[in-house]
Chains A and B, each alone.
Chain A
């Protein structure tokens, strides 16, 4: 068991190293280097050469990669030459804002999705199931910017319940942040819920027709107990992975939702960084997002190992 977890951990570290190489190479391939971005229009061949010398951009890519990755491990993402600040400082509050948005949506979305998934699974093909399933298919298949735009039209323009865009400062306190960002939270929650809800519904339907549930019914176990004690734990297992996948996917989707609402998060920062060729910033954001993805997946893998009774015994015997 411990060995298996250790193996997963090693694989995660290996993946992270490969990711760092891919990210470095991809950013390296962007036209223009930091020196050209720094000097902008005033660049002359001499000043360019001087600056490249100063920043060490003339060194071979391998040396620069090890420099950069060595810094990343120690929590130093380098300096943004376009914005003339350390990357960690630029990312700090932005990352916090994105995390606030993601955590708030997960706290509302995941329990609600599991509850609605169980409900629709039990009420299969009746009116509430049909309504909820249809809405979730729409939320799942339409692009985030379409869902966000429709919600803005309904809630901000027609009903005037929430502001259409978020007008909070990047370093606003969390208590100031939350009341202003209901609409992005609702959008993210809706999109995220759809995936989880569909899966819980399907596995609930599968579990409810299984032999052991029939057995429990025949024994006269009360219905609520069948659902909570017997069906739900088994229906939940595939859900752990889908939750992890959803969170990982969110890291991409949240960028678009931030852009729709003009939210000061890491996504809008990333788009700006790419637009003005802020290489250090883009590298930094990429490696942070990839690390989160890998950690979430690792956590899901370990949770599945710990929770799955069949895997557990197989490991104990093997």
Chain B
């Protein structure tokens, strides 16, 4: 072989020693995307801040120092102070803790129940499918903000209640996505083959459908997470979010907007933090979709 085709010897053997796991392959693909790595970096940074934020703030975020109200950035106050003399930089560092925790719990819940119902409906179909999809469509016809405001006015704004609210609310559109993804795979050959082999329904769903629908759900989950963050901060911007003294970016923007002409950094601080998180998630979701081989270009903004 080598003698007949000497050029072959120059080609490196690229066969991996052992077959890679699917997760490992996705990770390899992810590593190649610069945007994805930036996204993951930003997300990790925010997770670290959630965990150790309160330990590294240079000034106590709640401390109101009346001698330094509305001051521009200085060596002592890196982003200046707000209307009551609180340190903007320290508050920006810890302002995402409730937001991130609540939205992560909410997203996991939404994925779990929405995904379960959606896969079930997609697999079983029939009358229940028709009725529930009508209900889902009707829910989606109510402007999301109005609906969230209504629920929040009924159940209150305690963090764990918020997590349940968002988990319930965002599960509804996920039913649709999971159902569509299931429909998409139910007709594929490998599922047909499993059915023809006489596999039990349980096996078909758990071993054939779930791993494939899971890919779609992962990307969907990342996107839902960023939309949930948007909804959460928007609610707290409107005054329907976490109650003081808890620090929150959305409420910081709403409060510090009033003094934007005097001390713009009081508004920029929370905006920079919030934006870096949301853009990080979006970069990650895009890269993940590409790494999993899913096309997100046709995705709807709902």
On A, residues with C-beta under 8 Å from B are 14-16, 18-19, 22-23, 26-27, 29-31, 137-138, 140-146, 149-150, 152-153, 157, 195, 199, 202, 238, 241-242, 245-246, 248-249, 251-253, 255-256, 259, 270-271, 274-275, 277, 282, 285-286, 289-290, 293-294, 297
B143 to A252, Cβ gap below 8 A? yes
Quick check: A18 and B135 within 8 Å, CB to CB?
A: yes
Contact B264 A157 (CB under 8 A): yes
Docked complex Cα distance between A301 and B259 (Å): 47
Instruction: Point out the residue from B142, B238, B260, B302 that lies within 8 Å of A256, measured CB to CB.
Output: B238
> Which of B139, B144, B271 is A22 in contact with, Cβ under 8 Å?
B139
- Asked if A22 contacts B264 (CB within 8 A), the reply is no
The reply to whether A23 and B260 form a contact with Cβ atoms under 8 Å apart is no
9 tightest A-B contacts by CB? Answer: A18-B138, A252-B145, A202-B297, A252-B143, A251-B143, A145-B237, A26-B150, A143-B230, A289-B143
Residues of A within 8 A of B282 (CB): 137, 141
- List, in ascending order, chain A residues with CB within 8 A of B264's CB: 153, 157
Inter-subunit contact B279/A141 (CB<8 Å):
yes
Do B143 and A15 have beta carbons less than 8 Å apart? no
B interface residues (Cβ-Cβ under 8 A, vs A): 134-135, 137-139, 141-147, 149-151, 153-154, 226, 230, 233-234, 237-239, 250, 253-254, 257, 260-261, 264, 267, 271, 274-275, 278-279, 282, 297-298, 300-302
- Give Cα distance in the complex from A294 to B134, angstroms: 13
Q: What would 24 A/B residue contacts be, using CB atoms closer than 8 Å?
A: A15-B138, A18-B134, A22-B138, A26-B150, A30-B154, A138-B279, A142-B274, A143-B233, A145-B237, A146-B271, A152-B260, A153-B264, A153-B267, A157-B260, A202-B298, A241-B300, A245-B300, A255-B143, A255-B146, A256-B145, A274-B149, A286-B150, A290-B141, A293-B143
Complexed CA–CA distance, A295 and B136 (Å): 17
B301 engages A290 (CB within 8 Å)? no
Known A245-B300, A256-B234; contact A286-B142, beta-carbon cutoff 8 A: yes
Q: List residues of chain B with CB within 8 A of the CB of A153.
A: 260, 264, 267
Complex alpha-carbon distance, A277 and B250, angstroms = 23
From known contacts A18-B134, A143-B274, A251-B143, infer whether A195 and B301 are also in contact, taking CB-CB under 8 Å. Answer: yes
Nearest residue (CB) in A for B296 is A202
Which residues of B have CB within 8 Å of A242? 300-301
Q: Give the CA-CA distance A138 to B261 in the complex, in Å.
A: 24
Please give me the residue from chain A that is nearest to B137 by CB atom.
Answer: A15
Extra contacts, 4 of them, besides A138-B275, A143-B234, A242-B301 (Cβ < 8 A), are: A142-B275, A145-B234, A145-B237, A285-B146
Determine the chain B residues whose CB is within 8 A of the CB of A144 once the complex forms. 234
Contacts of B237 in A (CB 8 A): 143, 145, 256, 259
Q: Which residues of B contact A255 (CB under 8 A)?
A: 143, 145-146
A141-B282, A145-B234 known; A29 and B154 CB under 8 Å?
Answer: yes
A195 CA / B300 CA spacing, docked (Å): 9
Give the docked Cα–Cα distance between A249 and B250 (Å): 20
- Are B138 and A141 neighbours in the complex by a CB distance under 8 Å? no
CB pair B253 A290 closer than 8 Å: no
Contact residues in A for B145 (Cβ distance below 8 Å): 252-253, 255-256
Known A141-B278, A142-B278, A157-B264; contact A289-B154, beta-carbon cutoff 8 A? no
* Complex interface: chain A residues within 8 A of B257 (CB): 149, 152
A288 and B3 CA atoms in complex are apart in Å by 80
User: Which residues of chain A have C-beta atoms less than 8 A from B153's C-beta?
Assistant: 30, 274, 277
Residue of A nearest to B237 (CB): A145
| Cβ distance B45 to chain A, nearest Cβ, rounded Å | 17
Q: Residue of A at shortest CB range from B301?
A: A195
Evaluate contact between A26 and B143: CB separation under 8 angstroms. no
Q: Kindly state the separation between the CA atoms of A118 and B267 in the bound complex, as whole angstroms.
A: 36
Give complex CA distance A30, B145 in Å: 16
CB atoms of A23 and B301 under 8 A apart: no
User: In the complex, which of the residues A145, A150, A252, A297 contacts B146, with contact meaning CB atoms closer than 8 Å?
Assistant: A252
Chain B residues positioned under 8 Å from A30 (CB to CB): 150, 153-154
> A140's closest neighbor in chain B, by CB?
B301
Asked if residues B150 and A149 are in contact (CB atoms below 8 Å), the reply is no
| Given A26-B147, A26-B151, A282-B150, residue A293 in contact with residue B141 (CB < 8 A) | yes
Complex formed: what's the CA distance from A1 to B298 in Å?
Answer: 26
Q: Which residues of B contact A285 (CB under 8 A)?
A: 146
CB distance from A99 to the nearest CB of B (A): 15
| Residue in contact with B302 in the complex, picked from A27, A149, A249, A289, CB distance below 8 Å | A249
B301, A19: Cβ atoms closer than 8 Å: no
Tell me the smallest distance from the CB of A151 to a CB of chain B, in Å.
12
Give the distance to chain B from A210, nearest Cβ to Cβ, in Å. Answer: 15
Q: A29-B154, A274-B153 are in contact. Are A22 and B142 (CB under 8 A)?
A: yes
**Nearest Cβ in chain B — how far from A234, in angstroms?**
14
- Nearest chain-B residue to A289 (Cβ)? B143
A150, closest chain B residue (CB): B271
A116 to B137, alpha carbons, bound, how many Å? 32
Task: State A275–B300 Cα separation when bound (angstroms).
Answer: 32
Pick the residue among A15, A140, A142, A195 that contacts B141 (CB under 8 A).
A15
The distance in angstroms between the C-alpha atoms of A277 and B149, with both chains bound, is 12
State in angstroms the CA–CA spacing of A271 and B153 once bound together: 11
Q: Bound state CA distance, A277 and B150, in angstroms?
A: 10
Q: Nearest residue in B to A198 (C-beta to C-beta)?
A: B297
